[in-house]
Structure 1
Protein backbone atom coordinates (compact mmCIF):
# COMPACT_ATOMS: atom_id res chain seq x y z
CA UNK A 1 0.00 0.00 0.00
CA UNK A 2 1.43 3.33 -0.96
CA UNK A 3 1.44 6.23 1.46
CA UNK A 4 0.53 9.57 0.07
CA UNK A 5 1.48 12.88 1.60
CA UNK A 6 0.85 16.44 0.63
CA UNK A 7 2.01 19.75 1.91
CA UNK A 8 0.10 22.80 3.01
CA UNK A 9 1.26 24.49 -0.22
CA UNK A 10 -0.31 22.00 -2.59
CA UNK A 11 -3.59 21.50 -0.76
CA UNK A 12 -5.39 18.31 0.18
CA UNK A 13 -6.27 17.39 -3.41
CA UNK A 14 -2.62 16.56 -4.16
CA UNK A 15 -2.53 13.70 -1.67
CA UNK A 16 -3.87 11.23 -4.19
CA UNK A 17 -7.15 9.49 -4.73
CA UNK A 18 -9.67 9.99 -1.97
CA UNK A 19 -13.41 9.49 -2.39
CA UNK A 20 -15.34 12.75 -2.19
CA UNK A 21 -17.89 11.26 0.17
CA UNK A 22 -15.35 9.81 2.61
CA UNK A 23 -15.04 11.77 5.84
CA UNK A 24 -11.60 12.52 7.29
CA UNK A 25 -10.67 9.70 9.63
CA UNK A 26 -13.06 7.18 8.10
CA UNK A 27 -10.14 4.98 7.04
CA UNK A 28 -9.01 4.99 10.70
CA UNK A 29 -12.42 3.91 11.96
CA UNK A 30 -13.24 7.32 13.43
CA UNK A 31 -16.65 8.97 13.18
CA UNK A 32 -17.29 11.71 10.62
CA UNK A 33 -18.30 14.32 13.21
CA UNK A 34 -18.76 14.87 16.91
CA UNK A 35 -16.67 13.44 19.74
CA UNK A 36 -13.98 11.07 18.50
CA UNK A 37 -13.77 12.61 15.03
CA UNK A 38 -10.56 14.10 13.71
CA UNK A 39 -9.97 17.64 14.94
CA UNK A 40 -9.92 20.46 12.42
CA UNK A 41 -6.60 22.18 11.78
CA UNK A 42 -7.68 25.52 13.30
CA UNK A 43 -8.43 23.89 16.67
CA UNK A 44 -5.07 22.11 16.69
CA UNK A 45 -3.25 25.36 15.88
CA UNK A 46 -5.18 27.19 18.61
CA UNK A 47 -4.28 24.44 21.11
CA UNK A 48 -0.62 24.73 20.07
CA UNK A 49 -0.74 28.49 20.65
CA UNK A 50 -2.21 28.01 24.13
CA UNK A 51 0.47 25.42 24.97
CA UNK A 52 3.19 27.76 23.73
CA UNK A 53 1.86 30.57 25.93
CA UNK A 54 1.80 28.24 28.95
CA UNK A 55 5.42 27.27 28.24
CA UNK A 56 6.37 30.94 27.93
CA UNK A 57 4.69 31.67 31.25
CA UNK A 58 6.52 28.86 33.05
CA UNK A 59 9.86 29.82 31.50
CA UNK A 60 9.15 33.46 32.37
CA UNK A 61 8.72 32.47 36.01
CA UNK A 62 12.17 30.91 35.86
CA UNK A 63 13.59 34.07 34.28
CA UNK A 64 11.94 36.25 36.94
CA UNK A 65 13.47 34.07 39.67
CA UNK A 66 16.88 34.43 38.06
CA UNK A 67 17.17 30.73 37.17
CA UNK A 68 16.93 31.34 33.41
CA UNK A 69 19.07 33.95 31.67
CA UNK A 70 17.50 36.07 28.92
CA UNK A 71 19.86 34.49 26.38
CA UNK A 72 18.52 31.01 27.15
CA UNK A 73 14.85 31.94 27.44
CA UNK A 74 13.83 30.73 23.96
CA UNK A 75 15.60 27.40 24.46
CA UNK A 76 14.04 26.95 27.88
CA UNK A 77 10.58 27.73 26.45
CA UNK A 78 11.05 25.01 23.82
CA UNK A 79 12.27 22.54 26.44
CA UNK A 80 9.37 23.31 28.77
CA UNK A 81 6.92 22.97 25.87
CA UNK A 82 8.27 19.54 24.83
CA UNK A 83 8.42 18.18 28.39
CA UNK A 84 5.02 19.58 29.37
CA UNK A 85 3.43 18.30 26.16
CA UNK A 86 4.92 14.81 26.36
CA UNK A 87 4.11 14.41 30.05
CA UNK A 88 0.55 15.71 29.67
CA UNK A 89 -0.21 13.56 26.63
CA UNK A 90 1.18 10.50 28.38
CA UNK A 91 -0.63 11.09 31.67
CA UNK A 92 -3.92 12.62 30.51
CA UNK A 93 -4.16 12.15 26.74
CA UNK A 94 -4.10 15.90 26.08
CA UNK A 95 -2.00 19.00 26.63
CA UNK A 96 -3.38 22.04 28.48
CA UNK A 97 -4.11 23.73 25.15
CA UNK A 98 -5.82 20.64 23.77
CA UNK A 99 -7.93 20.42 26.92
CA UNK A 100 -8.99 24.06 26.51
CA UNK A 101 -9.91 23.41 22.86
CA UNK A 102 -11.74 20.15 23.51
CA UNK A 103 -9.14 17.85 21.90
CA UNK A 104 -7.26 14.71 22.87
CA UNK A 105 -4.56 12.46 21.39
CA UNK A 106 -5.44 8.81 20.83
CA UNK A 107 -3.55 5.84 19.41
CA UNK A 108 -5.08 4.62 16.15
CA UNK A 109 -3.38 1.26 15.94
CA UNK A 110 -5.51 -0.38 18.62
CA UNK A 111 -2.62 -0.68 21.06
CA UNK A 112 -4.49 0.36 24.17
CA UNK A 113 -6.19 3.19 25.94
CA UNK A 114 -3.42 5.77 26.04
CA UNK A 115 -0.37 7.13 24.32
CA UNK A 116 2.84 5.63 25.70
CA UNK A 117 5.92 7.50 26.87
CA UNK A 118 7.95 6.84 23.72
CA UNK A 119 5.12 7.89 21.41
CA UNK A 120 4.45 11.05 23.42
CA UNK A 121 8.12 12.10 23.41
CA UNK A 122 8.68 11.30 19.71
CA UNK A 123 5.47 13.11 18.78
CA UNK A 124 6.50 16.19 20.80
CA UNK A 125 9.98 16.27 19.30
CA UNK A 126 8.64 15.96 15.76
CA UNK A 127 6.21 18.84 16.34
CA UNK A 128 9.09 20.90 17.78
CA UNK A 129 10.90 20.44 14.46
CA UNK A 130 7.89 22.19 12.81
CA UNK A 131 8.42 20.71 9.33
CA UNK A 132 6.74 17.31 10.00
CA UNK A 133 3.57 19.09 11.09
CA UNK A 134 3.41 20.93 7.74
CA UNK A 135 3.08 17.72 5.74
CA UNK A 136 -0.32 16.08 6.05
CA UNK A 137 -2.07 13.04 4.63
CA UNK A 138 -5.58 12.92 3.13
CA UNK A 139 -7.07 12.84 6.63
CA UNK A 140 -5.19 15.98 7.68
CA UNK A 141 -2.88 14.12 10.08
CA UNK A 142 0.69 15.42 10.20
CA UNK A 143 3.80 13.28 9.88
CA UNK A 144 4.17 13.31 13.67
CA UNK A 145 0.81 11.54 13.99
CA UNK A 146 1.59 9.12 11.15
CA UNK A 147 4.99 8.24 12.63
CA UNK A 148 3.57 7.60 16.10
CA UNK A 149 0.23 6.05 14.98
CA UNK A 150 -1.79 8.69 16.80
CA UNK A 151 -4.57 11.12 15.93
CA UNK A 152 -5.85 14.33 17.47
CA UNK A 153 -9.61 14.00 17.90
CA UNK A 154 -12.44 16.05 19.39
CA UNK A 155 -13.22 15.16 22.98
CA UNK A 156 -16.52 17.00 23.12
Structure 2
Protein backbone atom coordinates (compact mmCIF):
# COMPACT_ATOMS: atom_id res chain seq x y z
CA UNK A 1 0.00 0.00 0.00
CA UNK A 2 1.56 3.29 -1.06
CA UNK A 3 1.18 6.63 0.76
CA UNK A 4 -1.81 7.73 -1.34
CA UNK A 5 -3.74 4.52 -0.64
CA UNK A 6 -2.98 4.78 3.08
CA UNK A 7 -4.24 8.38 3.20
CA UNK A 8 -7.30 7.42 1.17
CA UNK A 9 -8.15 4.57 3.52
CA UNK A 10 -7.72 6.90 6.51
CA UNK A 11 -10.03 9.52 4.99
CA UNK A 12 -12.75 7.12 3.84
CA UNK A 13 -12.75 4.99 6.98
CA UNK A 14 -11.97 1.38 7.81
CA UNK A 15 -15.09 -0.06 6.16
CA UNK A 16 -14.31 1.54 2.79
CA UNK A 17 -10.70 0.41 3.06
CA UNK A 18 -11.76 -3.17 3.80
CA UNK A 19 -14.27 -3.13 0.93
CA UNK A 20 -11.58 -1.91 -1.46
CA UNK A 21 -9.53 -4.95 -0.44
CA UNK A 22 -12.40 -7.28 -1.34
CA UNK A 23 -14.22 -7.78 1.97
CA UNK A 24 -17.99 -8.20 1.46
CA UNK A 25 -20.03 -6.84 4.35
CA UNK A 26 -23.41 -7.58 2.79
CA UNK A 27 -26.55 -5.68 3.79
CA UNK A 28 -27.88 -4.92 7.28
CA UNK A 29 -29.59 -8.01 8.70
CA UNK A 30 -28.15 -10.49 6.21
CA UNK A 31 -26.35 -12.45 8.94
CA UNK A 32 -29.63 -12.60 10.89
CA UNK A 33 -31.50 -14.04 7.92
CA UNK A 34 -33.64 -10.93 7.44
CA UNK A 35 -34.70 -9.52 4.06
CA UNK A 36 -32.79 -6.60 2.54
CA UNK A 37 -35.86 -4.34 2.17
CA UNK A 38 -39.51 -4.14 3.13
CA UNK A 39 -41.40 -5.93 5.89
CA UNK A 40 -39.12 -7.74 8.32
CA UNK A 41 -35.95 -5.90 7.30
CA UNK A 42 -33.79 -4.09 9.85
CA UNK A 43 -35.32 -0.70 10.66
CA UNK A 44 -33.30 2.36 9.72
CA UNK A 45 -31.50 4.40 12.34
CA UNK A 46 -33.66 7.41 11.46
CA UNK A 47 -36.89 5.56 12.21
CA UNK A 48 -35.54 4.26 15.51
CA UNK A 49 -34.38 7.71 16.62
CA UNK A 50 -37.73 9.18 15.54
CA UNK A 51 -39.60 6.56 17.57
CA UNK A 52 -37.40 7.24 20.59
CA UNK A 53 -38.10 10.98 20.26
CA UNK A 54 -41.88 10.39 20.10
CA UNK A 55 -41.76 8.05 23.13
CA UNK A 56 -39.60 10.44 25.16
CA UNK A 57 -41.84 13.42 24.34
CA UNK A 58 -44.91 11.45 25.36
CA UNK A 59 -43.29 10.42 28.67
CA UNK A 60 -42.24 14.02 29.28
CA UNK A 61 -45.82 15.21 28.78
CA UNK A 62 -47.11 12.53 31.16
CA UNK A 63 -44.51 13.52 33.76
CA UNK A 64 -45.45 17.20 33.49
CA UNK A 65 -49.12 16.32 33.79
CA UNK A 66 -48.64 14.13 36.86
CA UNK A 67 -45.74 15.68 38.75
CA UNK A 68 -45.10 19.29 37.61
CA UNK A 69 -46.90 21.25 40.39
CA UNK A 70 -45.13 24.43 39.25
CA UNK A 71 -41.63 22.95 39.16
CA UNK A 72 -40.32 21.65 35.85
CA UNK A 73 -37.24 19.87 37.23
CA UNK A 74 -39.40 17.44 39.21
CA UNK A 75 -41.23 16.35 36.06
CA UNK A 76 -37.96 16.04 34.17
CA UNK A 77 -36.62 13.65 36.77
CA UNK A 78 -39.71 11.43 36.52
CA UNK A 79 -39.54 11.22 32.73
CA UNK A 80 -36.87 8.49 32.70
CA UNK A 81 -38.86 6.33 35.13
CA UNK A 82 -42.03 6.69 33.08
CA UNK A 83 -40.04 5.92 29.91
CA UNK A 84 -38.61 2.77 31.53
CA UNK A 85 -42.02 1.48 32.65
CA UNK A 86 -43.74 2.31 29.35
CA UNK A 87 -40.99 0.74 27.24
CA UNK A 88 -40.71 -2.42 29.35
CA UNK A 89 -44.47 -2.98 29.44
CA UNK A 90 -45.26 -2.20 25.80
CA UNK A 91 -42.26 -3.98 24.25
CA UNK A 92 -42.73 -6.88 26.68
CA UNK A 93 -46.40 -7.35 25.77
CA UNK A 94 -46.95 -6.24 22.17
CA UNK A 95 -43.39 -5.76 20.92
CA UNK A 96 -43.57 -2.04 20.23
CA UNK A 97 -43.91 1.33 21.90
CA UNK A 98 -46.31 4.07 20.75
CA UNK A 99 -43.44 5.78 18.93
CA UNK A 100 -42.45 2.56 17.19
CA UNK A 101 -46.09 1.96 16.23
CA UNK A 102 -46.31 5.46 14.72
CA UNK A 103 -43.21 4.80 12.60
CA UNK A 104 -44.17 1.20 11.80
CA UNK A 105 -41.27 -0.63 13.46
CA UNK A 106 -41.22 -3.40 16.05
CA UNK A 107 -38.82 -5.22 18.41
CA UNK A 108 -38.53 -8.94 17.70
CA UNK A 109 -36.36 -11.77 18.92
CA UNK A 110 -33.63 -12.75 16.47
CA UNK A 111 -35.20 -16.22 16.57
CA UNK A 112 -38.51 -14.70 15.45
CA UNK A 113 -41.51 -13.72 17.55
CA UNK A 114 -41.69 -11.85 20.82
CA UNK A 115 -38.73 -11.14 23.07
CA UNK A 116 -39.10 -12.83 26.50
CA UNK A 117 -39.91 -10.35 29.28
CA UNK A 118 -36.64 -10.90 31.19
CA UNK A 119 -34.65 -9.97 28.08
CA UNK A 120 -36.97 -6.99 27.50
CA UNK A 121 -36.14 -5.74 31.02
CA UNK A 122 -32.40 -6.09 30.36
CA UNK A 123 -32.81 -4.31 27.00
CA UNK A 124 -34.75 -1.46 28.60
CA UNK A 125 -32.22 -0.96 31.41
CA UNK A 126 -29.39 -0.75 28.87
CA UNK A 127 -31.45 1.58 26.65
CA UNK A 128 -31.98 3.93 29.62
CA UNK A 129 -28.21 3.96 30.23
CA UNK A 130 -27.88 5.42 26.67
CA UNK A 131 -24.26 4.38 25.90
CA UNK A 132 -25.07 0.72 25.06
CA UNK A 133 -27.77 1.94 22.67
CA UNK A 134 -25.37 4.07 20.62
CA UNK A 135 -22.66 1.41 20.22
CA UNK A 136 -23.70 -0.51 17.09
CA UNK A 137 -22.64 -3.60 15.22
CA UNK A 138 -22.62 -3.94 11.43
CA UNK A 139 -26.38 -4.63 11.42
CA UNK A 140 -26.89 -1.31 13.29
CA UNK A 141 -28.06 -3.20 16.38
CA UNK A 142 -27.07 -1.52 19.63
CA UNK A 143 -25.50 -3.42 22.50
CA UNK A 144 -28.88 -3.35 24.26
CA UNK A 145 -30.36 -5.34 21.34
CA UNK A 146 -27.41 -7.73 21.21
CA UNK A 147 -27.73 -8.51 24.94
CA UNK A 148 -31.47 -9.07 24.58
CA UNK A 149 -30.96 -11.07 21.35
CA UNK A 150 -33.44 -8.77 19.63
CA UNK A 151 -33.65 -6.69 16.48
CA UNK A 152 -35.83 -3.75 15.48
CA UNK A 153 -37.57 -4.53 12.18
CA UNK A 154 -39.94 -2.75 9.81
CA UNK A 155 -43.64 -3.62 9.81
TM-score normalized with structure 2 length: 0.82
Structure 2: tracts of 5 or more residues without a match: 1-11
Q: Distance in 2 between matches of 1:104 and 1:11?
A: 31
Match for residue 24 of structure 2? 19
Deviations 1:40-82 (A, max 9, x none): 1010000000000110111111025x4x964432221000001
SS at match of 2:113: coil
**Cα offsets for 1:9-38 (capped at 9, x unmatched):** x97829x88614x11101001100001000
Aligned residue number for residue 121 of structure 1: 121
CA distance in 2, matches of 1:88, 1:12: 38
From the CA coordinates, give the structure whose radius of gyration is larger. Answer: 2
TM alignment of 1:26-41, pairs within 5 A: 26-41=30-45
How far off is 1:151 after superposition? 0.2
Unaligned runs of 5+ in 1: 1-9
Which of 51, 57, 64 lines up with 1:53 in the alignment?
Answer: 57
DSSP 3-state at the match of 1:60? helix
Per the alignment, residue 76 of structure 1 pairs with 78
Partners of 1:11 and 1:58 lie apart in 2 by 43
Distance 1:46 1:12, change over 3 A: farther
2-structure distance, mates of 1:13, 1:124: 30
Distance 2:133 2:13 in 1: 14
Structure 1 length normalisation: TM-score? 0.81
Relative contact order, CA 8 A, sep 6+: which one is greater?
1
Check whether the contact 1:12–1:138 (CA below 8 A) recurs between aligned residues. no
**Off by >6 Å, runs of 4+ in structure 1:** none
Counterpart position of 1:44: 48
Count residues with an aligned counterpart.
140
Mapped to 2, the partners of 1:11 and 1:151 lie a distance apart of 26
Whole-angstrom distance in 1 between the partners of 2:105 and 2:77: 27
